[in-house]
C-alpha cells in the first residue's frame, strides 16, 4: 500500500466511528470538572489568605503577650512611651513582613500566569508551558524563596529577643526559656516541616515530570 | 463565555468531528478503560478550549491540536492515583466498546502507529488525515523541514513493516 491507499483506509473510520459516546455522562463529567476546578482555585486562594492571617496573628499574639508581661510584671515601675515602642515596632515589622511575603507570592503567581500565556498553542508551546509550571514549584524551595516565607517569623523572633534584651531578661528567667523552646519547636515543626514536605513533593513528583517533558522536547527536536 | 453557550459549541464540534478524538485516543491508549479515561480527559480539554478558539484555524485543526497535546501529557503521567487525580466516578460507560469486526487494515495502522515514538505518533495521525507539512508544523511546533524528516522516516517504517509482513 502506498501513502494514498493508507490515507484512504485511515479515513474510512470517519464513515463508521469506532465508538458511540454517552453524551449525558460526558456532560456530567464536564460539570464535575468545572466544579473541581473552581474548588481548587478557591482552596489555593484560601491557603494564601490563611498563611497571611496566620503569620499576622502569630506576630500580634506573641508581642501582645510580651506587652502584657511587661506591664503587669513590673508593678510600681512607670513605663514610658519608649517601653511600648519596642513591642509595637515588633508587631508592625512582623505584619509588614507577612504582607510583603503575601505580596511577593501574589506577584510571583501573576508573573507565572503571564509567563504561561506567552506560549502559543503548538505541541512545543504546550510542553514549554508545562515545563514552566514544573520550574515554578522547585523555585519555591530555593534559598531566596524560603527566606521570603520565613522572614516574618525571623523578624518576630528577633524583635522579641531584642525587646527581652532591652528589658534585661536573664537566661535564668524560666519564661524566657519556655518561649525559646516554643520558638524552636515551632520552627522545627512548622517551618522545617513545611520545607521538607515541599522538597519531597518536588523530588518525587515534579522532577521526574520535568525530565519526561525535557525528553519529549528533545524528541521534538530530534531529526 | 456562558456554560450553556460553551456546551452548545462543544456539542456541535463533537457531533461533527468526534472521529478525531477517537483516533487520538486509540493511538495513545490501548486498553478500553484507559481509552475511556483518555477520552474523558481529551473531551474536557476540548470543552475548556472553546473559549480560547478564535477561528484562526479550522475546528478540526484546533481539535487535533488540543487532543494531541492532552494525549501526550496523559501518556506521560505515570500513576493517576498517586497524583490524587482520578477519573470521575461512574464514567465507565462513557464510550461504547468498538465493534467486534473492524477493518483489519485500520487495526494494522493503529498497531504500527503505537510502535512509533510519542511525537512521531502525532505526526503520523496528522499525515494520515491529510494535513499539510505547514499545518503539521503549526500544530506540533516543529519546523517544516523537521516535519519532512519525520514523515519520511514514518513512511519508510510503514513501508518496511508492510514489506516484511508481505514476505512472511
Spans of all domains in chain A: 40-209
Q: Among candidates B115, B131, B108, B153, which has minimal Cα distance to B57?
A: B131
Residues B17 and B64 in one domain: yes
Which pLDDT score, from 0 to 100, does residue B27 have?
92
Q: Among candidates B164, B163, B141, B160, which has minimal Cα distance to B152?
A: B160
Residues B66 and B107 in one domain: no
Q: Do A10 and B129 touch (CB under 8 A)?
A: yes
- Per residue of chain B (168 residues), what is the pLDDT tens digit? 677 788 899 989 988 888 899 999 999 988 888 888 888 889 988 998 888 888 888 999 999 999 998 888 785 444 454 444 555 556 667 777 766 677 888 888 999 999 998 889 999 999 999 999 999 998 888 899 999 999 999 988 888 887 887 777
Mean pLDDT of A103-115: 73
User: What is the DSSP annotation of B3-46?
Assistant: HHHHHHHHHHHHHHHHHHHHHHHHHH--SHHHHHHHHHHHHHHH
Which pLDDT score, from 0 to 100, does residue B125 have?
94
Residues B1 and B42 in one domain: yes
Element at A174 (helix H, strand E): helix A174-186
- Domain count across chain B: 2
Which pLDDT score, from 0 to 100, does residue A156 have?
65
Q: Do A29 and B91 touch (CB under 8 A)?
A: yes
Which residues share a beta bridge with B95? A21
Where does a domain end: B49, B67, B98? B98
pLDDT above 80: residue A120: no
Q: C-alpha cell of A162?
A: 531584642
Q: Do A216 and B76 touch (CB under 8 A)?
A: yes
Task: Identify the closest residue of chain B to A213 by CA–CA distance.
Answer: B76
Residues B10 and B35 in one domain: yes
Q: Among candidates A70, A68, A63, A71, which has minimal Cα distance to A94?
A: A63
User: What is the DSSP annotation of B79-122?
Assistant: -TTTTT--PPTT-TTSBPPPPSS--HHHHHHHHHHHTS-HHHHH
Residues B20 and B75 in one domain: yes
Which of B68, B94, B109 is opposite residue A25, by nearest beta carbon? B94
Q: Angle A19-B69-A105 (CA atoms, 0-180°, nearest 5)?
A: 130
Is any Cβ of chain B less than 8 angstroms from the Cβ of A40? Answer: no
Residues of chain B found within 8 Å of residue A24, distances taken between Cβ atoms: none
DSSP state of A55: H
| Mean predicted lDDT score pLDDT of chain A | 73
B8-15 contact pairs (CB < 8 A, 24+): B9/B50, B9/B53, B10/A30, B10/B46, B10/B47, B10/B50, B11/A23, B13/B46, B13/B50, B13/B59, B13/B63, B14/A21, B14/A23, B14/A26, B14/B43, B14/B46
Q: Give the best-scoring range by mean pLDDT among A46-50, A84-88, A118-122, B52-56.
A: B52-56
Residues B93 and B115 in one domain: no
Is any Cβ of chain A less than 8 angstroms from the Cβ of B7? Answer: yes
Q: Do B118 and A219 touch (CB under 8 A)?
A: yes
Residues B38 and B121 in one domain: no
Which of B128, B134, B159 to probe the A interface (max A CBs under 10 A)? B128
pTM score, whole prediction: 0.66
Residues B67 and B129 in one domain: no
Distance from CA of A66 to the nearest CA of B (A): 44
Q: Among candidates A121, A33, A28, which has minimal Cα distance to B52?
A: A121
| Cα B156 to Cα A181: distance, rounded to the nearest angstrom | 72
B102 backbone φψ class: left, alpha, beta (φ>0; ψ -120 to 50): beta
Which pLDDT score, from 0 to 100, does residue A214 have?
85
Where does a domain end: B98, B116, B150? B98
| Cα B48 to Cα A34: distance, rounded to the nearest angstrom | 9
Q: What is the CATH number of the domain that holds B90?
A: 1.10.1740.10
Q: What is the CATH number of the domain that holds B150?
A: 1.10.10.10
Which pLDDT score, from 0 to 100, does residue A134 have?
76
Residue range A149-178, pLDDT digits in tens: 666 666 666 666 666 666 665 555 676 677
Is any Cβ of chain A less than 8 angstroms from the Cβ of B163? Answer: no
Residue range A179-203, pLDDT digits in tens: 777 777 877 777 677 778 878 888 8
Which of B117, B140, B162 is opposite residue A123, by nearest beta carbon? B140
Residues B83 and B103 in one domain: no
pLDDT above 60: residue A223: no
Higher pLDDT, A31 or B84: A31
Distance from CA of A118 to the nearest CA of B (A): 14
- Annotate A185-196 with b (16+ C-beta within 10 A) or e (fewer): eeeeeeeeeeee
User: ipTM score of the complex?
Assistant: 0.78
Domain of residue B105, residue span: 99-168
Residues B29 and B103 in one domain: no
pLDDT above 70: residue A137: no
Which pLDDT score, from 0 to 100, does residue B61 have?
92
Where does a domain end: B98, B119, B153? B98
Residues B81 and B4 in one domain: yes
Residues B3 and B77 in one domain: yes
Amino acid at each position: 500500500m502506498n501513502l494514498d491507499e493508507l490515507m484512504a483506509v485511515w479515513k474510512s473510520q470517519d464513515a463508521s466511528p469506532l465508538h458511540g459516546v454517552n453524551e449525558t455522562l460526558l456532560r456530567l463529567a464536564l460539570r464535575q470538572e468545572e466544579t473541581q476546578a473552581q474548588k481548587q482555585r478557591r482552596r489555593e486562594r484560601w491557603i494564601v489568605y490563611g498563611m497571611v492571617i496566620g503569620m499576622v496573628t502569630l506576630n500580634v499574639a506573641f508581642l501582645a503577650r510580651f506587652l502584657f508581661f511587661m506591664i503587669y510584671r513590673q508593678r510600681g515601675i512607670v513605663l514610658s512611651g519608649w517601653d511600648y515602642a519596642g513591642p509595637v515596632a515588633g508587631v508592625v515589622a512582623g505584619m509588614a513582613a507577612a504582607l510583603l511575603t503575601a505580596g511577593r507570592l501574589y506577584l510571583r503567581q501573576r508573573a507565572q500566569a503571564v509567563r504561561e500565556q506567552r506560549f502559543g498553542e503548538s505541541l512545543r508551546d504546550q510542553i514549554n508551558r508545562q515545563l514552566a509550571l514544573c520550574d515554578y514549584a522547585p523555585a519555591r524551595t530555593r534559598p531566596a524563596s524560603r527566606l521570603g516565607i520565613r522572614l516574618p517569623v525571623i523578624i518576630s523572633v528577633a524583635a522579641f529577643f531584642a525587646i527581652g534584651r532591652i528589658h534585661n531578661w536573664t537566661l535564668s528567667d524560666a519564661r524566657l526559656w519556655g518561649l525559646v523552646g516554643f520558638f524552636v519547636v515551632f520552627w522545627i515543626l512548622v517551618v522545617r516541616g513545611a520545607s521538607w514536605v515541599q522538597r519531597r513533593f518536588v523530588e518525587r513528583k515534579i522532577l521526574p515530570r520535568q525530565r519526561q517533558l525535557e525528553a519529549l522536547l528533545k524528541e521534538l527536536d530530534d531529526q | 463565555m456562558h456554560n450553556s453557550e460553551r456546551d452548545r459549541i462543544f456539542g456541535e464540534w463533537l457531533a461533527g468531528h468526534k472521529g478525531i478524538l477517537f483516533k487520538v485516543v486509540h493511538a495513545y491508549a490501548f486498553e478500553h478503560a484507559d481509552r475511556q479515561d483518555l477520552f474523558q480527559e481529551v473531551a474536557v480539554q476540548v470543552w475548556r478550549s472553546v473559549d480560547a478558539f478564535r477561528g484562526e484555524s479550522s475546528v478540526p485543526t484546533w481539535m487535533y491540536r488540543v487532543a494531541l497535546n492532552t494525549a501526550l501529557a496523559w501518556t506521560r503521567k505515570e500513576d493517576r492515583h498517586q497524583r490524587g487525580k482520578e477519573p470521575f466516578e461512574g464514567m465507565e460507560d462513557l464510550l461504547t466498546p468498538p465493534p467486534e469486526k473492524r477493518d483489519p487494515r485500520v487495526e494494522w495502522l493503529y498497531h504500527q502507529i503505537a510502535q512509533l515514538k510519542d511525537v512521531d505518533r502525532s505526526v503520523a495521525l496528522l499525515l494520515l488525515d491529510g494535513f499539510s507539512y505547514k499545518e503539521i508544523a503549526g500544530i506540533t511546533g516543529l519546523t517544516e523541514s523537521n516535519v519532512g524528516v519525520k514523515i519520511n522516516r514514518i513512511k519508510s517504517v510503514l513501508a518496511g513493516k508492510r514489506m516484511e509482513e508481505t514476505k512472511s
